[in-house]
Amino acid sequence: MSDLTIVFPLYPGVTHLDFTGPHQVMSRIPGAKIIVASAGGVDIEADGLTFTGLADLSKVEACDVLCVPGGFGTSAAMLDEAFMAHIKRLAAGAKYLTSVCTGSLILAATGLLTGKRATCHWAWKDQLKPFGVIVTEGRVVRDGNVITGGGVTAGLDFAFTMVAELAGETLAQSIQLGLEYSPAPPFNAGSPDTAPPEILAAVRGMMSGAMASRQGAAEEAARRLEVGGP
């Protein structure tokens, strides 16, 4: 797989597990070139960790796999014309368009997910609708060359799916065993369907502050697509 290039574009407010989980898994594909980039190659702070030594996104010419992570910075990223220009450029030539969590909103803002099935974090998935995306339940959803993961930890399921796609199931299972990925969470609260009602209400409350602004950003990004410009 020496000719395989995977790019993770980062932006302020990204959720680090959205890309560090898949990065850990896919970096074990023999010969794969993994590029973590930001606009201008600037350092990116994510939940108290600072990622440095990043590639300059403008100098990444092309990739086979574009994997866009999510995070609370998604709203600003969707409306950042310079950042989105690079996402659109790389997406146009990528063999696979992929995302984790709300990264699918950024990917949708390229216009390349219109009419495609895709998923997102459960709290934000309806915000894919302004882009004409067919919102679909699932930890990992595939529609042709579009492969999207659900919220945050679904990025691991997504990553093993990608390894199987890119390098075969034998390698994917070998990496899974090597990383001892055998989830057995201490609580059955990992989805809205299984979480206790009071937990679900509390989490919805914590996210409500960002809901309106992100909805507005999604609608504005979709409007820009319709008019063909900023």
The Cα–Cα gap between 81 and 84 comes to: 5
- Rounded to 5 degrees, what angle do the CA atoms 6, 8, 12 make? 170
Q: What dihedral angle (degrees, nearest 10) is formed by the CA atoms of 174, 179, 185, 191?
A: -70
Q: Which two tokens stand for residue 9?
A: 């574009």
Q: For tokens 């989805």, what's the residue?
A: 191
What token pair was written down for 2?
């020496």
Nearby residues of 194 by Cβ (< 8 Å), 6 or more positions away: 188
Q: Which of 22, 77, 75 is nearest to 44 (CA)?
A: 77
Residues 131 and 108: their CA atoms lie apart, in Å, by 6
- Residue 101: active-site member: yes
Q: State the catalytic residue, choosing from 63, 67, 101, 120.
A: 101
Q: In angstroms, how far is the first alpha carbon of the chain from the final one? A: 38
Residues with active-site annotation: 101
